[in-house]
Amino acid sequence: MRLALCLVVALCCGLPAASDGSARTDLSAVSSWAYWLQEPDLDSLADTEHDLVVIDYSLTGDADGEFSAADIQALRDSGKTVLAYLSIGEAEDYRFYWKTKWKPGKPGWLLEENPDWEGNYKVKYWAGGWWKKGLRPYLDRILDAGFDGVYLDLVDAYWWWHEEKGMKVRSTANRMCKLVERIANHGRDRAGEGFVVFTQNGVSILDDCSKKWRTRFLVAIDGVAVESLFHEVFSDEDQDYRLEKLAEFEDAGKLLLVVDYIGAAKWDGFFDDIDASGLGLLGYPAAPDHALDELVIYD
């Protein structure tokens, strides 16, 4: 990962206060971020000027490598807001919650393996079993370690259920909004209202969910991240659409993050594209292999 380029962002914050009077975390001073999932070196992250970092809850991804509360506090003490990556749309067979007897169909909420990611399995993300056996125990370990919040991946799983399984998109989107809200509420019930929630991708959920769930989704989250916004884009139309949705998130007072997987020759163009977008996007140029296994230092 690379040393953060300071991008000043002015955000319209109007986040609700908790009933006990405590305020939501103020992220308006965050000017750069880093994204390092595979064996992140916490000392290296602490030495950077990044304000916000996203890491796995474990050095090795499994229970043996879990970071301690002292590890995370030391990183926080360096001035970082520290978010734990959490996949909510698929189960991962290397996580502590995985049972050796599990296979597609057993339990009933576990589906086929993702052909693009070995060891990752589609789940009925709205199922009570997934919450009880996977997400809640995982979230509790994140909370026990003292992370400032979570970075939720595979929010866009709601679209897979619509496109591949023929479910109504309004239903799948609403169910995903409900899950994100449930995660946010559980985190804030235990850690306080300042517990931070970001979602990655799936920005079309703002159009696909109901008006009620759009409102509740926006209340639940503090920010949104997108991958491959300026490079490796699906189409110009898709890029334009995602930029429009990001503007809506920004109007709602959310912090915007973007990661593109590019080499050093494209860094300048990446930040030029961010500037040209007119949005308060904070960019991180990760390595082209998508591995997120290093700290990219850029200037």
pTM, 2 dp: 0.92
How confident is the model at residue 222, as a pLDDT?
98
Q: 110 and 103 in contact (C-beta within 8 Å)?
A: yes
Q: What is the pLDDT of residues 247-284, one digit of tens each?
A: 999 999 999 999 999 999 999 999 999 999 999 999 99
Q: Mean pLDDT across the stretch 86-111?
A: 98
Q: What is the pLDDT of residues 194-206, one digit of tens each?
A: 999 999 999 999 9
Q: Residue 102: which of 129, 77, 128 has the closest Cα?
A: 129
How confident is the model at residue 15, as a pLDDT?
39
Q: 79 and 73 in contact (C-beta within 8 Å)?
A: no
How confident is the model at residue 215, as a pLDDT?
98
pLDDT level of residue 128 (50, 70, 90 thresholds): very high
Reading the block at residue 211, the tokens are 């008006």
Q: Which residues of 173-210 are buried (b: 16+ CB within 10 A; e: fewer)?
A: bbbbbbbbbbbbebbbeebebbbbbbbbbbbbbbebbe
Backbone angles phi, psi at 84, to 5 degrees: -100, 130
pLDDT level of residue 297 (50, 70, 90 thresholds): very high
Domain architecture of the chain: domains with CATH:
33-286 (3.20.20.70)
Q: Which residues of 270-298 are buried (b: 16+ CB within 10 A; e: fewer)?
A: bbebbeebebbbbbbbbbeeeebebbbeb
Q: Is 169 helix (H, G, I), strand (E, B) or coil?
A: helix
Those residues with Cβ within 8 angstroms of residue 268's Cβ, 6 or more apart along the chain or in another chain: none
pLDDT level of residue 24 (50, 70, 90 thresholds): confident
Q: What is the pLDDT of residues 77-97, one digit of tens each?
A: 999 999 999 999 999 999 999
Tell me how far apart the alpha carbons of residues 191 and 188 are, in angstroms, rounded to a whole number.
5
pLDDT at residue 25 tops 90: no
Tell me how far apart the alpha carbons of residues 279 and 244 are, in angstroms, rounded to a whole number.
10
Backbone angles phi, psi at 248, to 5 degrees: -70, -40
- Angle CA(239)–CA(242)–CA(248) in degrees, nearest 5? 145
Indicate the helix (H) or strand (E) that contains 247.
helix 236-251
Q: Which residue has the tokens 């946010």?
A: 184
